[in-house]
Amino acid sequence: MYDIREWRHVFKLDPNKEISDEHLERVCESGTDAIIVGGTDGVTLENVLELLGRVRRFSVPCVLEISNLESITPGFDFYFIPMVLNSRETKWIIDLHHDAVKQFGDVMNWDEIWMEGYCILHKHCKAAMLTAADTELEEEDVVAYARMAEHMYHLPIFYLEYSGSYGDPGLVQRVKQVLMKTQLFYGGGIKTAKQAKEMAKYADTVVVGNIVYEDIEQALATVKAVKQ
């Protein structure tokens, strides 16, 4: 399924983490809509290429979520580019992007590239710490970022990121109410089918990450829960 607007469930695999061939096969054949390859730290060209090669044995769409310039490589179906809307440093909103477009502009296929407006809400996650994200936000702050993503920047994706911690379904519901065109991704702390189903009531697309490495059966159960 190559229309990202139809994706309801995706697995995010971290190139810096080990996964056996058996588990990878089960993840790729689970019925999930796509695999996102991405992580905050330890992402190298070598481990990205290794994971890409292994995922490519299956027909599931495969996305590179870019976290640094060194690990960008051809071969993915799509490239997702995060910009952290609630970062206190322009580096994570525009500067790295400027450097990258300066370097890759001539070879960029814009049809494969999707911008993600991140709002990172879990204070202690690696992505929040790296990007100096302001996580002390009121509901209305988050809603304002969502509106900016859609109406000011025309971003295709607004990503509510609670990486490592289960978020507030009420907030996801509230954000969904103000988005008409921009697709709402929710990711963070989903460990059970029940949680996946709950977030899928409000988010357009649910992202399941770390539980793949902790409890493969629970991870796989999230697919059916979201798609039912």
Ligand X SMILES: O=P(O)(O)OC[C@@H](O)CO
- Under the binding rule (CB under 5 A), the answer on residue 209 touching Mg ion is yes
> Is 213 annotated as belonging to a binding site?
no
Give whichever of 102 and 129 is closer to ligand X, judged by the CB atom: 129
Please tell me the count of residues contacting ligand X according to CB under 6 A.
Answer: 13
Measured from the Cβ of residue 178, the count of other Cβ atoms closer than 10 Å reads 17
How far apart CA 153 and CA 157 sit, in angstroms, is 11
CB of 180 to Mg ion, least distance (A): 30
How far apart CA 70 and CA 48 sit, in angstroms, is 10
- Under the binding rule (CB under 6 A), the answer on residue 210 touching ligand X is yes
Instruction: Give the Cα-Cα-Cα angle 75, 54, 17 (nearest 5 degrees).
Output: 105
Give whichever of 33 and 161 is closer to ligand X, judged by the CB atom: 161
Q: Output the CA torsion sign for 52, 84, 98, 7.
A: positive
Q: Which of residues 148-167 bind ligand X (CB under 6 A)?
A: 161, 163-164
> Is 189 annotated as belonging to a binding site?
yes
> Is 117 annotated as belonging to a binding site?
no
Give whichever of 61 and 189 is closer to ligand X, judged by the CB atom: 189
> Is 161 annotated as belonging to a binding site?
yes
Measured from the Cβ of residue 217, the count of other Cβ atoms closer than 10 Å reads 8
- Under the binding rule (CB under 6 A), the answer on residue 131 touching ligand X is no
In terms of Cα–Cα distance, which of 2, 12, 59 is closest to 208?
A: 12
Give the burial class of 114: count Cβ atoms within 10 A of its Cβ; 0-12 exposed, 13-18 middle, 19 or more buried: middle
In angstroms, the Cα distances linking 136 to 121, 143, 183, 188 are: 8, 14, 24, 17
Binding site as annotated, residues for sn-glycerol 1-phosphate: 12, 159-164, 189, 209-210
- List residues binding ligand L4TTDIOY (CB under 6 A): 14, 38-40, 65-69, 72-74, 79, 81-84, 92, 96-97, 100-101, 104, 107-108, 113, 118, 125-127, 130-131, 161, 163-164, 210
- List residues binding Mg ion (CB under 5 A): 209-210
Binding site as annotated, residues for Mg(2+): 14, 40
